[in-house]
């Protein structure tokens, strides 16, 4: 605690001291403030006492974490930012959150490139998965706050593929699913399952259709009625499908 004594005016200067009391008080306050600043580093709770008994408390500095946090606030275009969870992001920010176009590299090697809003994938984007050091496109289409939303194409790990509408990360609406065995369903979906009107085509089986004794037409049994075979069909026999 630092004490600053107010200078006592001479008796003959009583009138001048009374008229200049305002300036004297300002002078004392300035001296006290400067004195406090000198000792602030050693005593952050520096409090000054003036001879008349009043106290002046110096403003306390913000903690260092607040200063660092203020400097770390991100807005606009940024270079690569390394997150504590291991992810890396390069792109636009707004209000210290990923917002706008950017590229997010996940800790496990996956990659997302597209639009963000409020820190989440939102808008159009593409997501790749890391397979033994190589990126394979998994999904391309719309996102809504971190989940698949709207139109999009998803390539499944087993080789299947879905192209159509999504709601909250699930197949919902009109869509086409091609299964690993080659069968196809095209129609309506509800919460990830086939629901409503649709058409299912079984796995195509290659067959040889003998039109005459001299010619053979190879076509798909599933579309045999529209394969354009003309003439007298004498026999149909299945061929092995590799």
Higher pLDDT, 25 or 140: 140
Q: What are the tens digits of pLDDT across the range 86-119?
A: 999 999 998 888 999 999 999 999 999 999 999 9
Question: Minimal CA–CA distance to 96: which of 84, 123, 78?
Answer: 78
Alpha helices in the chain (DSSP H): 14-19, 21-39, 64-72
DSSP for residue 43: -
How high is the pLDDT of residue 124?
97
Q: What is the pLDDT of residue 57?
A: 60
pLDDT of residue 190: 96
**What pTM was computed for the model?**
0.57
pLDDT at 16: 54
Q: State the Cα–Cα distance between residues 231 and 221, nearest whole angstrom.
A: 17
The pLDDT value recorded for residue 54 is 52
Q: Work out whether strand 193-201 and strand 184-190 pair parallel, antiparallel, or are unpaired.
A: antiparallel
Q: What's the rounded Cα separation, in Å, for the pair 30 and 48?
A: 11
Region of 140 on the Ramachandran plot (φ > 0 left; ψ -120 to 50 alpha; else beta)? beta
With beta carbons less than 8 A apart as the criterion, state whether 220 and 187 touch: no
If pLDDT is split at 50, 70 and 90, which confidence band does 162 have? very high
**Span 214-221, average pLDDT:** 44
Three-state DSSP state, 139? strand
| Phi, psi at 18, each rounded to 5° | -65, -40
Confidence (pLDDT) at 58: 60
Indicate whether 177 pLDDT > 70. Answer: yes
Q: Answer whether 17's CB lies under 8 Å from 24's CB.
A: yes
Q: What confidence tens digit (pLDDT) does each residue in 28-60 have?
A: 444 545 554 454 444 544 444 444 455 556 677
Please check whether residue 117 is in contact with residue 124, taking contact to mean a CB–CB distance below 8 angstroms.
no
| 151: pLDDT strictly greater than 80 | yes
Write the CA distances from 3 to 27, 43, 45, 54, 62, integer angstroms: 15, 14, 14, 11, 25
**pLDDT at residue 73 tops 90:** no
Give the residue with greater pLDDT, 236 vs 126: 126
Collapsed DSSP state (helix, strand, coil) of residue 221: helix
Burial of 1 (0-12, 13-18, 19+ CB in 10 A): exposed
Which of the residue ranges 14-28, 78-92, 105-119, 197-211 has the most confident prediction, judged by mean pLDDT?
A: 105-119
Reported as a single tens digit per residue, the pLDDT across 178-196 is 999 999 999 999 999 999 9
Q: What percent of the chain has pLDDT above 90?
A: 45
What rounded mean pLDDT belongs to the chain?
73
């Amino acid at each position: 605690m630092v004490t600053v004594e107010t200078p006592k005016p001479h008796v003959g200067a009583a009138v001048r001291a009374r008229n200049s009391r305002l300036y004297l008080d300002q002078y004392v306050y300035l001296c006290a403030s400067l004195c406090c600043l000198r000792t602030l580093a050693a005593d952050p709770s520096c409090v000054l006492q003036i001879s008349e008994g009043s106290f002046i408390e110096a403003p306390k500095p913000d903690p260092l974490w607040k200063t660092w946090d203020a400097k770390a606030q991100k807005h606009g275009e940024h270079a690569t930012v390394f997150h504590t969870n291991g992810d890396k992001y390069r792109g636009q920010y707004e209000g210290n959150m990923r917002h706008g176009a950017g590229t997010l590299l996940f800790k496990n090697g996956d990659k997302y490139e597209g639009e963000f809003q409020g820190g989440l994938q939102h808008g159009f984007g593409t997501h790749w998965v890391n397979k033994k050091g190589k990126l394979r496109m998994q999904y391309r289409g719309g996102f809504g706050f971190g989940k698949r939303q709207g139109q999009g194409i998803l390539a499944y790990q087993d080789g299947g593929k879905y192209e159509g509408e999504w709601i909250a990360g699930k197949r919902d609406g009109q869509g086409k699913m091609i299964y690993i065995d080659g069968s196809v369903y095209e129609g309506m979906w509800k919460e990830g399952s086939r629901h409503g009107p649709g058409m299912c085509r079984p796995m195509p089986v290659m067959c040889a259709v003998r039109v005459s004794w001299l010619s053979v037409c190879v076509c798909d049994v599933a579309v045999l009625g529209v394969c354009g075979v003309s003439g007298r069909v004498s026999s149909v026999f299945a061929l092995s499908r590799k």
